[in-house]
Structure 1
Amino acid sequence: MTHILITRPEGKGAALAQQLEQAGYQASLFPVLKITHLTPSSTELSPLLNADKIIFISQDAVSALSQLKPDINTKAQFYAVGQQTADIIYEQFGVRAAVPKRYDSEGLLALKSLEQVDGCNIVLVKGQAGRPDIAKTLKERGAFLNSCVVYKREPTEELIADWTDHWQTQNVQGIVLTSNAAVDAIFKNVAELELQWLQQCQFYVASERIAAYLQQQKVSLANIHIAAGASDTAMFACINQQGSKMSEQSKPIKAEKTNPTTSNAVPLKKNDVEAKKTTENNKQKVSKVAVLALLISLIVASGVGYEFYRKLNAGKVQNLAVNELSDQNKQLQKELQTLKSAQFNLQQALLDSEKKVAAALNESTAQNQQELKAALQKAQQQGSSLNPQEVTSLQRMAEFKLWAEKDYQGTSAVLKRLDALLSEHPGTIEVRQAIMQDIQTLDSLKPIATEAIYLQLNSVLGSVDDLVFNAVNLPEEASAIDENALSDDVSDWQQNLSNSWNKIVDSFITIRQHEGVSIEPLLTDQERHLINQRIKLNITQAQDALMSKQASIFFSALSEAKRLVGEYFKQDDDATKTALKALSKLEKEQLNFNPKVTLNSTKKVKEWAQ
């Protein structure tokens, strides 16, 4: 019964062992590695949120990452090295992953969707120091690669020093290996005799990569059998197929037996039978001796004949060999002369070529130095490679300042910073053109001078008490004519008597007459105070509307304040003129608190990042 040793980590080889035992093999579980989950930093996990493609190296990578419960872009394209890894991805994240036909690094890199990855954000979820070829190839194809290390393989601490002796005692014939780390764990610090025994075992590996690594331990390729993947089904098929071949090769070839036909034989008597057997035995003995003697005679005759023939032709052969050697010597001398002349010509050619090479080197040294200097300056100017995440972050910051903070100047400053970043890298002309259009649009939006307008309103508010009301001016009194003047003439005694009486009456009642317009009623002090308070209230309301960005209320309050000043105060007074002029100027202010602005660069940046 073939004994197969399964070295997979604990908890992963039980199903394979059961399949082997059901098929008639002896299977033993001997984990040589243990899986330890790691906790990456937030910096290592953050690329998962903006990743375009996510590659999982193994089932352990999926399990370790799912336990961390990170923020992950489930709309990204997922990849798995094997089908079992893809099944676990769907179970943990609900996403169907792409699987190559060959369950190894080469098969994964051969997928068409991973051939053109220039500028793509790719996250490689893997174990410590695992799959360097995938990372190297994707970087060479122009991808922005981030590695997320979530687990590591370590040799099992329970491995005892004489474990190979134990395997030999158990008559282990085949060993299952699914990683290079398992190869290192088995072959590390092994004595010479144990190493020789290991090299004679049959190894069942999960990929050509492990097979090549195993050959570095001086294991013959004939003893290495490559399965179609690391799954239990693939491993079992590889072991069972190889076991069937070994069984067919080990089957003994049986000679065909001829059974004599006895159906028509005549029964013999006992004495006749014994006599016949004795005669046949004697014949067999005589024939064997005769054959042996004949063979010896033939051998002796052959030896004598060969010796005679050898001596007969020895002289001829020797003469032919001497003649042939003489001809070869002459030919060699001619070739030697030819070689000497060719050597001389070669030396001359070498001298000439050395002079030409020295001149060419001296000529190209200065040119190479200049080109190197120019390349270094260009590399310094270009700086580090452009990170799409930084570009998209700046664009989102600009959108936040525009829509959330209404800070148009701040938005313009962020876009100018983004344009300066893109200017150092080629292939960003269209994006930069859209950014410059947005910057021109934002710079054309003049900011509202809120503080200046507020101070102007405050100045008008302080001058309200200095305004002069529009009071009515009384006309001058008419020149007084004393109609009751007494005459010196005695004959006018009656008139003088009447005038005297009128004077007595005037001392009690005085009636004056005025010439001009009719007199309008005047405002009381209380009414004047109320008018001033109404004007101040409207100006204060305009200030509040300005700070709360309510343009309609602002202009309505200004209009009412201007109406009251024009109606109740003197229009020819300097204070009134100043107040009306200030209010009229404020009414012409352009208070567009919410202009409609659309960033053309947003769409261009998204297209470029994809």
Structure 2
Amino acid sequence: MLLFTRPLPKLASSAKAFDAAGLDAVGAATCDIVYVKSERNAISTFLAETRVDVIIVTSVYAVDAAEDAVQSLIEKAVPNSSLPLIIAVGDATAKKLHHALCAIPQQISPLVILTPEIHTSEGILAMPLLNEAKGKQVVIIKGEGGRQLIADGLTAKGASCQSFCVYRTEQLTDPIYTKCWKVEDVRGIIATSEAMAMQLIHSQGHAILSLPWLTVSERIAVSLRKRGVTEVFVCHRATDQALIAWVKDNWEY
């Protein structure tokens, strides 16, 4: 059996994906997502007063706010004007953005949505198109308490960055699981964020440290090793499909 972490809003869909792939897996939600409406409104106000070159969307949970922001830009745009470049941190975020923004008026220049080669903050900063960030106005749509690496890195390159924290994660009192399970049945753990990994360790104790772990960045892997996990692997894509493919290619299930 596999044990994987997801925030509560994504738990059911991920469990369905693992089940459809023929993998015996139990999902664990250690946190929920709470949206911050005031920050979403603040984005539209900022865009009404400021010309923006790049919008960076760091999570699927930031997509709705990004959609509102882009729609407000489209409404005030003149024919043949250009829209900001949009960078999505990963495939799932990009796919949701494409779906949300597919109805773009023909008189507006096409919307460009790009993803980095490695789906992390480090991957975004490594994108060649951001090497010449000096003088660029960048809006970062993210979660409350998230990393400041993108803003700090782009500011160091001479960009002007404005971050909007449109959601926050709230730790659940007890994890919610998709089905009953026992630690002795688990043969591998998939952790898609450092916070959820640490919450899972806190709830389950040292019993799960000896199991093989799969995570989505070397940064999280380093953190897990420091906590005592001896066998950690990295898949640089956080989608259900990428994780399932990695497991089928590398673990015997």
Match of 1:241 in 2: 249
Specify which of 158, 182, 195 is matched with residue 196 of structure 2: 182
SS at match of 1:40: helix
Match of 1:82 in 2: 90
Specify which of 181, 206, 209 is matched with residue 199 of structure 1: 209
**Structure 1: which 5+ runs fail to align?**
248-610
Query: 1:23–1:88: structure 2 CA closer, same or farther, 3 Å change rule?
Result: closer
Output the amino acid matched with 2:53. D
Output the amino acid matched with 1:46. T
SS at match of 1:236: helix
**Structure 2: which 5+ runs fail to align?**
75-81, 103-110
Query: 1:98–1:25: structure 2 CA closer, same or farther, 3 Å change rule?
Result: closer
Q: Does 1:140 align with 2:156?
A: yes
**Counterparts of 1:69 and 1:101, CA distance in 2:** 24
Specify which of 23, 27, 30 is matched with residue 29 of structure 1: 27
- Deviations along 1:115-136, one digit per CA (max 9) or x if unpaired, are 1111111000000121321111
CA contact (8 A) 1:57 1:126 kept: yes
Output the amino acid matched with 2:37. T
Query: 1:68–1:156: structure 2 CA closer, same or farther, 3 Å change rule?
Result: farther
CA contact (8 A) 1:65 1:150 kept: no
CA contact (8 A) 2:58 2:88 kept: yes
- Deviations along 1:239-282, one digit per CA (max 9) or x if unpaired, are 112223xx7xxxxxxxxxxxxxxxxxxxxxxxxxxxxxxxxxxx
Specify which of 156, 164, 173 is matched with residue 187 of structure 2: 173
Output the amino acid matched with 1:142. G
Root-mean-square deviation (Å): 2.6
Deviation at 1:8, TM superposition (A): 0.6
SS at match of 1:72: helix
Match of 2:218 in 1: 208
**Counterparts of 2:24 and 2:242, CA distance in 1:** 18
SS at match of 2:123: helix
Match of 1:56 in 2: 57
Deviation at 1:228, TM superposition (A): 2.8
Deviation at 1:234, TM superposition (A): 0.8
The count of residues paired between Structure 1 and Structure 2 equals 233
Deviation at 1:219, TM superposition (A): 1.4
CA contact (8 A) 1:56 1:125 kept: yes
- Deviations along 1:554-580, one digit per CA (max 9) or x if unpaired, are xxxxxxxxxxxxxxxxxxxxxxxxxxx
**Counterparts of 1:115 and 1:61, CA distance in 2:** 24
* 1:419-498 to 2 correspondences below 5 Å: none
- Deviations along 1:290-322, one digit per CA (max 9) or x if unpaired, are xxxxxxxxxxxxxxxxxxxxxxxxxxxxxxxxx
Match of 1:101 in 2: 117
- Deviations along 1:454-476, one digit per CA (max 9) or x if unpaired, are xxxxxxxxxxxxxxxxxxxxxxx
Output the amino acid matched with 1:211. A
**Counterparts of 1:129 and 1:70, CA distance in 2:** 26
**Counterparts of 1:237 and 1:53, CA distance in 2:** 32
Q: Does 1:114 align with 2:124?
A: no
Match of 1:224 in 2: 232
**Counterparts of 1:143 and 1:105, CA distance in 2:** 16
Higher strand share: 2
CA contact (8 A) 1:90 1:96 kept: no
Deviation at 1:46, TM superposition (A): 2.9
CA contact (8 A) 2:47 2:69 kept: no
SS at match of 1:101: coil
Output the amino acid matched with 2:55. I
TM-score, length basis structure 2 = 0.80
* 1:281-296 to 2 correspondences below 5 Å: none
Deviation at 1:140, TM superposition (A): 0.5
Specify which of 5, 18, 23 is matched with residue 7 of structure 1: 5
CA contact (8 A) 1:153 1:181 kept: no
Query: 1:196–1:185: structure 2 CA closer, same or farther, 3 Å change rule?
Result: closer
TM-score, length basis structure 1 = 0.35
CA contact (8 A) 1:10 1:31 kept: yes
Deviation at 1:17, TM superposition (A): 3.3
Match of 2:106 in 1: none
Query: 1:67–1:43: structure 2 CA closer, same or farther, 3 Å change rule?
Result: closer
